[in-house]
Each structure stands twice: as C-alpha cells, then as structure tokens.
Chains A and B, each alone.
Chain A
C-alpha cells in the first residue's frame, strides 16, 4: 500500500486539512469528513466564554481516524513556538507540531532562523516537527539534518491563492529531500494540488481554498480526488516532455568517427 509516513505514523490520505477561516464549526467538520483527511491542523486560542463553539477538540476527536496537528501560529520567535508546542502536546496528546513562526502579521512569511532553532529543540524533545517554510532548498536540508519529520514549503504566500508560484524551488526541494515534502499554503484550485502531487510532493496542506469556497464540502472532496489523482500520476511516471525541437544540423553526427 502507498502510505504517507511521518515518524511512526502512517496515513492513507495525502491531503492535510487546515481548520481555520470556515464560516462555522459544523461547516468545517463536514468539510473535514468530505476531504478524507486524517491529519488536521488546529491552533491554540484563549478560551472565550462567549464563543463556546471555538473549542474544536471534542468535535474533531469524534471523527474516526483523525490525528490532530497543532500549529504554533501566533508565535513570532522560537521561544514562543516552543512554549506553544509544549501546551499543545498537553492538550492534544499528539506528537505532531506544525512549526509556524511569522514575525510579521501582514504577509505571514515564516522566519527561517527562528524556525530552524525551534525545530532543532522540538525534534530533540521527541516532537514530530513539521516546519512551515519558504521554499528554500538549503533550509529544507538543514531542517532534515536536525530531525524534522517533514518539511512544508509554501506553494505561494499564505492565503494568496497564487498556486505553485514556487514550483521551480519546490522541485529542487523534492529532488534533494529524504523526508516527506508537503506543500503548504497558496493552493487555490484542486488542479494545483494534483500538480504538486505529480511533481512528487508527499502530501498537500489546504485550508483557505476550501474554507473560502461557496461549498466547502464539495471543494474538500475535489481536493481529495485531485490529491489522489496527482499521486497516481506521479507513481505511474509522467511521459517525458518533448522540449527542444530536433536541430537541423545533427548534434551527434561526430559519433563513430575514427579519430
């Protein structure tokens, strides 16, 4: 069987769902079910007695086969992310932690230096560290070296819907990485998830594209199918592209000459 392997955990689904930005908790829960996702992200928030439906732990835990991956959103330094990870582990009992550190709340670009530091410490503490990063191939290898369970480069800026704007860098990361590469952020259309999977990504993480759709459940199903289709395409092996036209004067006519 073809499974996504993260630490000692195996998942048959290669679509990871983010649970933010939905119109309501019930809508989100329906989308999670329709997506077939087995790994979903959640964020730590202060309890609010006026908004009791904020608490997703109970309802998500009732969906069979779901593992929670808390994120560290809101953290702008390694120290804050580490603290959030410790609290999240208390709450979820899950070793997964999506390390997400953005010092600037406007564009939400991940800080590579703080991320590296947090990942190194959390991995040594036994977390399955899933760092959200800019598509930087060297950073991806450095994170692999310190024991991350995967790397999660962005396809394009978070919530931008610009798809795989970073495809060229992503393909280098995929080629060089020995751990799963998961495209996180920026995907807008299911076809982009399929393309990411065809390129050889191990999984995709989708949130905004589903949450912001007119019909989140149907969009979740579309991403489920697209992710699977792309995976099949990758495994089967894409036919080679014919890139350059054949030169008019042959390039290989020297072969077989005597001297």
Chain B
C-alpha cells in the first residue's frame, strides 16, 4: 500500500501548475508555491526587492508563508537609476 501510493504523491502534486501574472507577464508555477519560492525561481532572492501581491505589499518575513494562488498579480520591484 505505502509503496503503491507514494509515487502518486510525488508525481501528481508537482505536476499541478497554476498561472500568475508576474510584473504583468504570465508565469507558471507549481501549486502551493510560496512567494519566496518565486523569488528564488527568478533569481531575485538575496536582493533587496519590494513585493506586492494583488496590490498589497508583502513584507519579507511573510514571503515564505504567503502561498500564491491561480491568477494572483505579483509585482517584484527594485530601485533602479532615476533622477
């Protein structure tokens, strides 16, 4: 039983994908990804960024527990040059 069920969990769950809007572009992610997973995925972890989900600021301590949902609008912002 255990052996039989196990592959199902491993294979099926990661395969279920959701689509979000990242900085205005569609981005596909595994279901139950946290915001911090997304940051690692695009290479912005370790940088100082501001994150917004559906126009609400998500502060750094909350990013690991903020689970993204289908259709979420995510903005990742940095400071660039400007006068």
Contact = CB atoms under 8 A, between A and B. Distances in A.
Contacts of B82: 18-20, 41-43, 71, 73
A51 to B, nearest CB: 9
A68 interface: yes
Interface in B24-53: 24, 42-44, 47-50, 52
Given A87-B50, A91-B50, A47 B83 contact: no
Given A18-B83, A87-B57, A185-B83, 17 more contacts: A20-B83, A41-B82, A42-B81, A44-B50, A44-B79, A47-B23, A48-B23, A49-B43, A52-B43, A54-B81, A55-B47, A55-B78, A56-B78, A88-B79, A91-B77, A207-B83, A208-B83
Interface string A22-64: 1001001000000000000111111111001011111011000
Contacts of B50: 44, 87-88, 90-91
B57 A55 contact: no
Contacts of B76: 46-47
Contacts of B77: 44-47, 87, 91
23 contacts: A18-B81, A19-B81, A21-B83, A28-B81, A44-B50, A45-B77, A45-B80, A47-B47, A47-B49, A47-B78, A52-B47, A54-B81, A55-B47, A55-B48, A58-B48, A60-B79, A71-B82, A71-B83, A90-B50, A91-B48, A91-B77, A91-B78, A208-B83
A37 to B, nearest CB: 12
Contacts of B83: 18-21, 41, 43, 71, 73, 158, 185, 205, 207-208
B24 to A, nearest CB: 7
Contacts, number: 103
Contacts of A180: none
B59 interface: yes
B75 interface: yes
A47 B81 CA distance: 13
Nearest to B46: A58
Contact of A56 (B23, B52, B57, B79): B79
Chain A interface residue number, banded: 35 or more
A39 to B, nearest CB: 13
Interface residues of B, number: 21
A13 interface: no
A21 B49 CA distance: 21
- Minimum-distance CB pairs A-B, first 5: A43-B82, A18-B83, A207-B83, A45-B80, A42-B79
A12 B80 CA distance: 25
A58 B57 contact: no
